[in-house]
Each structure stands twice: as C-alpha cells, then as structure tokens.
Amino acid sequence: MKGADAVGGCLTGPVTSLLGRSPTALDRISRVSADLEPPFAALDAAAFETNAHELIRRGNGLPVRVASKSVRSRAILERVLGADLTAAQGFAGLMCYSPSEAIWLARLGAQDILMGYPTVDKSALATITRDRVLSGRITLMVDDPAHLDIIRDAAGSDLVKPRICIDVDASLRIGPLHIGVRRSPLREPGQGAEFARLAKERGFRVVGVMFYEAQIAGLPDSNIAVELMKRASVADLKLRRGEVVDAVTDVVGSLEIVNSGGTGSLEVSSADPVVTEVTAGSGLFVPTLFDRYRAFTPNPALYFALPVVRTPTPAVATTFGGGYVASGPASRSRAPSPVAMNTALGGLVRGGLKLLRNEGAGEVQTPVAVPPGSVTIGDRIWFRHAKAGEVCERFDTLHIAEEDGTVTAVPTYRGEGKNFG
C-alpha cells in the first residue's frame, strides 16, 4: 500500500496529531472521557446532530423512518424522534427488527412502528394482534401466505384486521445473475397484486409496500463497475416499483406506506415520486462500511476505547477486548478498525494502527500494530465498528460528549436488560 510501512506482519499508515487542524468528534470525545475506564463506547453529540440533519437533507423532504437495529439505544432514539419515540425534525416512525422490541417501544409511546422483517413469533404476534393499541401502532411485514396463516392463528379470531406491509424484492436481475439480498419471493406487479388480494380476502389491512434496494443502499462506491450496476438498478427499480404500487393499489386502494431506501441510497429512493418515506439508521453513527460512498461525506460519531494491557514488542500493543466483528460476509471489512490512540506521551494520536493479519480482532484481547515505542501499558486505543447498532450489543452504556463539554451516560438496549436477537 502506497505510503505505508510493514510493521508486525501488517500495514501502518501516517501518524497525525491535533496540531494544525480543527477538533473532530474523536478529539472532543477523547477530551471529555479521560476519566472513564475503558472499555467503553462514546458518541459525539455534535457529529450525531450533524448526521441527523444530513439524513433529513438527503431525504429531499420525505419523512425518514429510523431503523432501530442501527441504533439499539432507546435514549438515542428519543434524541431523534422525541420523547414519545414517534416523530420530530423530519424523522417519523420506527422500523423495528424484532416484534418484542416493537411491543416494548410501542408501550413506551411509539405510535408508528413498521416491522422491517417477517416474524413467526406466535407469542409476540398474539400480544400485538389481541391488543387494540399495539395493533394500531405496529404494522407487520409479510411476503408469503404462510405469514398470513401464522398471524391469523396467533390473533385467534377472524374479526381482527392486522395492519400489514408487503415486502417486495428490490434486487437487480440480469439474466441468471441476482444482485442484491435474498428476501421476498414477491417481485413482479402481478405477484404483488395477487398477494394483496389474498390478504384482503382474509381480513388483513394492506397499508403499505416496502422495497429495500440493498445493492444500492449497502454497497460502497468502490469502482466504476459498482457505479454502473447502481445506475442500472435505479432505472430498473424506478419502473418496477411504480408498477407494483399501481397493481397493489388497484386491489386495496391507496397506501399509507411506500417505503424504500437506506443510508446509502436516500437520494435515489426519495427521488421516486411513488415513495412516501425512506428509512435510515446507520447514517446517525456512520460506521466504517459507509466510508466509501460518494453521495455523502462520512462523519463518524461513535467510537469505542480499549485499554492497552501488554506490549509484546515495541511495535505491538495488545488491548483488552475488541472482537466486535460485524455481521455479513466474513471478511476484513467486517472487523473493527483501530483509528487513534491516547498515549501518556503524545495525547490523542491518529493513524499508524492496524490489526494483525494473523490474529485480527480477538475474543479477549486484540493485538494492534503501532508505531514502534509509541504506546505503553495503560494507554488506550480508539476503534470504529464496521456496522452501527451492533456495537451497542457489546456495551451497557453510551457516553455522550455533549456540545457544552459535559458527558451524559445513557443505556443501550443491553444496558436496559433487553436482547431482541
């Protein structure tokens, strides 16, 4: 790699300090968290607010539904959606990943929850469908007649009319090639209309359709081939999405929800006139998987600090913890990234850090290649996670560096004793 030196079997880049540049989110976090004992996770309030406003701007006037899986902290969700977890400042509604999570948040006041995925949790479905308030606040996601069977069985009555949203496959297909995620079996307008007709006949309220274009929203702009694929996908989806929406509305009437998008595709999703709302969540924290998008400038807000507990060589510092590998294909892109270090000698120093190729992020300890002689036992190394909300499953608390220089500690889902899978 150009401009890098080999150290300890891996690569290190240039080292920079705060001299001659404006303070960043990590500078502010580092300054106010000096007395905290690592490991801990910390969020910069100013960067978080900037990111929230950027999501609204990129949504082009459409309400932005918040993907809770990318946040996993009730207190942080309240910062975005207000104390009632419903709507504020251009954000409106939650997209939840677990029915138990949806029930919990609805009971705390959230009035507009869209399930992002189907569920077969009969106990949770019974709780939702048999409660008038919950059933009015939570819209269930479906894409198969079997889902209708399970929901109806859980409801225990044919008189109940559950709110449902139909998930439609938004992947790109070129001949036998499938580009995107494997989700819904429903793809064409006729399939959407037929499923909507079946759901309506069985007493369900079809209130929306969802299209998640992962091949646009979740794929960095790494080369020209990816850019060309994205353009083809945008053109294909714009045509097909409109046709599906027309076909479904011909059966059930107007829809409350036509949901699309993710942090990486807000511009293209919101540009389609049939879309009524977009969804985002990762863009609030900005993990490393969003570092290479051209549509927006990444502004990382969330970091975690690990303490150096040993120095096996002058060029390697071993931290406690760190094996916080993100979900998805097993690759280096899913590993946490060491980005800076707090040292007794140099304060906050950026760069020059890499995980060791042969060990990576460890279960109990993580060795990191460092500039020789730069780190001593007791120093701390700062990391960024590859994904957004998943890191909150590793910590009970998020320490927020407020804009006035104070620190606010708020619980994650884990800190509130919640684990939704």
CA distance 304 to 306: 7
| Burial call 123-160: b when 16+ CB within 10 Å, e when fewer | ebbebbbeeeebbebbbbbbbeeebbebbbebbeeeeb
- Whether 20 has a pLDDT exceeding 60, the answer reads no
Q: What per-residue confidence (pLDDT) applies to 15?
A: 39
How far, CA to CA in Å, does 36 sit from each of 32, 125, 249, 396? 9, 42, 55, 14
Whether residues 108 and 124 fall in one domain? yes
Task: Flag whether 290 is in a domain.
Answer: no
Tens of pLDDT along 155-187? 999 999 999 999 999 887 877 877 767 888 998
Helix 145-155 / helix 122-129 crossing angle, nearest 10 deg: 60
Q: What per-residue confidence (pLDDT) applies to 222?
A: 67
Structural domain containing residue 233: 45-284
Segment 325-344 shows an average pLDDT of 84
Tens of pLDDT along 300-323? 999 999 999 999 999 999 999 988
Task: Flag whether 291 is in a domain.
Answer: no
Whether residues 28 and 51 fall in one domain? no
Among 301, 224, 216, CA closest to 267: 216
Whether residues 250 and 393 fall in one domain? no
Whether residues 58 and 160 fall in one domain? yes
- Whether 226 has a pLDDT exceeding 60, the answer reads yes
271 is written with which tokens? 């540009």
- Count of structural domains within the chain: 2
Confidence band of 217 (pLDDT split at 50, 70, 90): low
Q: What per-residue confidence (pLDDT) applies to 2?
A: 29
Whether residues 69 and 171 fall in one domain? yes
Task: Flag whether 292 is in a domain.
Answer: no
Helix H or strand E segment including 142: strand 138-142
Whether residues 127 and 169 fall in one domain? yes
Whether residues 52 and 182 fall in one domain? yes
Q: What per-residue confidence (pLDDT) applies to 21?
A: 57
Is 395 in contact with 415 (CB distance < 8 Å)? yes
Task: Flag whether 117 is in a domain.
Answer: yes
Whether residues 244 and 311 fall in one domain? no
Is 30 in contact with 348 (CB distance < 8 Å)? yes
Whether residues 40 and 51 fall in one domain? no
CATH number of the domain within which 392 lies:
2.40.37.20
CA distance 266 to 270: 6
CA distance 155 to 122: 9
CA distance 288 to 291: 5
Tens of pLDDT along 92-115? 999 999 999 999 999 999 999 999
Helix H or strand E segment including 139: strand 138-142
Tokens 């006037």 label which residue?
A: 61
Give the domain-ending residue among 257, 284, 311.
Answer: 284
- Whether 3 has a pLDDT exceeding 70, the answer reads no
Tokens 């509604």 label which residue?
A: 93
- Whether 350 has a pLDDT exceeding 80, the answer reads yes
CATH number of the domain within which 229 lies:
3.20.20.10
Task: Flag whether 230 is in a domain.
Answer: yes
Confidence band of 1 (pLDDT split at 50, 70, 90): very low
Task: Please state whether beta strands 365-369 and 354-355 pair in parallel, antiparallel, or not at all (unpaired).
Answer: antiparallel
